[in-house]
Structure 1
């Protein structure tokens, strides 16, 4: 995040925050030592935010002078909230996974599995002539709960990575962690597996390293989420859950995500 403005005047800060939000600029306010600080959440809005800030300084409005927003429906408000949390790559992968789920369960189950499993037809050996199969298992899901769980975390983590860095960064992290996690799972258990969870854990690891020591980073995750994700990973290696989990994919995804995060911290130390 980037600090845009600081003041001890709460009325001024409330008005400025409202102005920014009316322009669709994602901002948040924090307090430090009695001073209110306005932070820009997404770097892509910086030029617009600086322009709005200049106008605000030159001619500061009052809350009463601001035009009233027309009420929006709950559905539209929910869509606006979701859309503000993700970019085009996050959205496209989300839709593709849903379409694959429909094909896998309702339209062409055998053909879908044959096309997307890590090996064609589920044979034990990898097919060197079809390298994309190290990625495509991430599109398969074997229950509705499996699908919903992974898509939720994909939107939450993938959206943050895309908006903080770029669509290309999300694509890179997704492909690398998918390949590493799928290969690890194939090497341990064979070809009959699928799901986004290896990538999700890769994004999780990437976010941890990217936000480490940066209190106001957009990728900073709540402590409860850190405990849950690590706890879920650890539980997968026990017999307590009574379900089949791609534990090796989760662990390999996490480790590869941590490594990618470290590389990006070195190459982009101020991001």
Structure 2
């Protein structure tokens, strides 16, 4: 491979390419849904993988992943896309591409599991994963206490977290269980996989927080299944 080509690849990989990929997926999904009945149509949402508890109980566990890339209406897509772009620009370079992707996807799953456990409403949106990224900034703030730039970033995102939670409390259309589940999941999984310190105490901390994340997933899945008895719905 020519040197010039290698440098172009390296420059490209310095960009938040995972963020761009996630943005492309959710925009493509929105276009497809719009052409296939509309993104606010319940039948279309179910077809493309929105979170719907009865279907999850029947074995469609992929509905804990696909809602992260679906949005209900253009404003919903626009708001979450802007937030994802901004967070990705800030965080993907800090965590690295694979860790960033892991935090986003795993915290999104945790948020959707929390929604599965505590809300029976059909839902979709990247907010569960975005709150996971917010949670990861809490971890960064706790880990790099003597880094002024990271502390300022953590405080700024902390303010956004509080504003979003307050707004969610007064809005019945917001899935607070999903948001809070994503927030906690993001903090736990970011601590488990992303503390860049080889000291033994940090390795132990990773194991503890990884274990807590696993327990969280199991408990939420159990509660979701428990709260959605098959006898309570009809297909």
TM bin, normalised by shorter chain, reads 0.5 to 0.7
Deviation at 1:228, TM superposition (A): 2.7
Deviation at 1:223, TM superposition (A): 3.5
Q: Does 1:215 align with 2:215?
A: no
Q: Distance in 2 between matches of 1:114 and 1:89?
A: 26
Aligned residues: 184
Higher relative contact order (CA 8 A, sep 6+): 2
Report what 2:188 is aligned to.
259
TM-score of the superposed pair, with normalisation by structure 2: 0.67
Q: Does 1:118 align with 2:69?
A: no
Report what 1:149 is aligned to.
79
Matches within 5 A, 1:4-23: none
Q: Does 1:227 align with 2:159?
A: yes
Structure (1 or 2) with the greater strand fraction: 1
For residues 146 and 85 of structure 1, do their structure 2 counterparts lie closer, same or farther at Cα, with a shift above 3 Å needed?
farther
Deviation at 1:157, TM superposition (A): 1.4
Q: Deviations over 1:224-264 (max 9, x none)?
A: 44223212213312x3x4x5001111101111111123224
Gaps of 5+ in 2: 1-9, 199-235
TM-score of the superposed pair, with normalisation by structure 1: 0.59
The answer on whether the counterparts of 1:160 and 1:218 sit within 8 Å (CA) in structure 2 is: no
For residues 125 and 221 of structure 1, do their structure 2 counterparts lie closer, same or farther at Cα, with a shift above 3 Å needed?
same
Deviation at 1:219, TM superposition (A): 8.2
Gaps of 5+ in 1: 1-43, 46-82
Q: Deviations over 1:31-82 (max 9, x none)?
A: xxxxxxxxxxxxx89xxxxxxxxxxxxxxxxxxxxxxxxxxxxxxxxxxxxx
**Over the residues paired in the alignment, what is the CA RMSD in angstroms?**
3.0
Structure (1 or 2) with the greater helix fraction: 2
Matches within 5 A, 1:115-194: 115-119=48-52, 123=54, 125-128=56-59, 130-190=60-120, 192-194=122-124
Q: Does 1:103 align with 2:32?
A: yes
Matches within 5 A, 1:50-89: 86-89=15-18
